[in-house]
Structure 1
């Protein structure tokens, strides 16, 4: 279980820092109560993690050989894609495109909601925006792959803790560090980490 916990924690923490959901949380925290935003964001990420782990457990009923090779291809494929993306990025600060997408998502949501917001509406806005941004993200597929071949409880706890750490950083000091985050470095680290997990998966089956 410790291996599953560590894998979930590392993979999510590295992948989510500087991601779209990170900046959505940071932008919302500049406009609303940080506590309410943190509740909504954390609830959305926890819900997504649980859904992914359940999906991973469903996948685990497939033949083990298929799961094994699918896990290797998924992790190494994501790793190569991230390294390729990092090679095309500027070495300076965060990715303006990701920040722009996060701002646009928040602006559209704000227009559709009443100007006078209640605590519940703020939590709901943070939940929906985060959940939609995270759906289909590489971390969702990574969580499914981890849960298919590792202890589901360990993956769940590790992934939720990783998401919570990133959410706390985004909500508490996202504005301060957003200009200092090197998306290129984070993407490089994430790519290397995905490849390491792919290699480890291959070695376990050999």
Structure 2
């Protein structure tokens, strides 16, 4: 249960102001079918985080558990620092819109999550907890908790949120997870 809760909470916080949240805003502005957008986000996130969790579990199986502990802790500290850097969406990726709301969302979300903070966090959480289903479920819930409201409230932009303080809080959370990894 800890793996599920920590995964959901940390990813939901990390997603606020992230490029995938900005992408959700763009998709909501472009397409009116909210169900298709949310379904595309769900499928893309499950696929992406499944792959990330497999990598996390694989990494932890290849190295001495003591080294894995330090690698994971240092990586959590790295993610904490990374979170402090604001995200921007490079382009609208309008060429994908021709595929319709579900496929466009699935493809764009899957691509946007590659190498993203939440994907890296999923790798680390899977390596730390060694529980694929709770980590994948938790990180997926976290992504949806942060992005589904954006789809429904497309006019409410991320600039209205105190993103600086959210990033600092999230960085503190990942730092605490890193410290707890060292202590356990």
TM more than 0.5: yes
Q: Distance in 1 between the 2:163 and 2:95 partners?
A: 25
Give the match for residue 92 of structure 1: none
Q: Secondary structure of 1:176's partner?
A: coil
- Unaligned segments of structure 1, at least 5 residues: 86-94
Give the match for residue 140 of structure 1: 119
Q: Distance in 2 between the 1:41 and 1:75 partners?
A: 25
**Deviation digits for residues 40-95 of structure 1 (CA, Å, limit 9, x no counterpart):** 11211111111111111211212211210111110112213434x3xxxxxxxxx6
RMSD: 1.8
Give the match for residue 65 of structure 2: 64
Q: Is the 8 A contact 1:80 1:191 kept in 2?
A: yes
Q: Relative to 1, partners in 2 of residues 1:106 and 1:10: Cα closer, same or farther, differing over 3 Å?
A: same
2:97 is the alignment partner of 1:107 = no
How many equivalent pairs are there? 181
* Shift in Å, 1:39: 0.9
- Unaligned segments of structure 2, at least 5 residues: none
* Shift in Å, 1:108: 4.4
Which residues of 2 match residues 16-35 of structure 1 at below 5 A?
Answer: 16-32=15-31, 33-35=33-35
Q: Distance in 2 between the 1:138 and 1:40 partners?
A: 20
Over 4 Å off, 4+ runs: none
Give the match for residue 182 of structure 2: 202
Query: Which structure has the larger Rg over C-alpha atoms?
Result: 1
Q: Is the 8 A contact 2:126 2:132 kept in 1?
A: yes
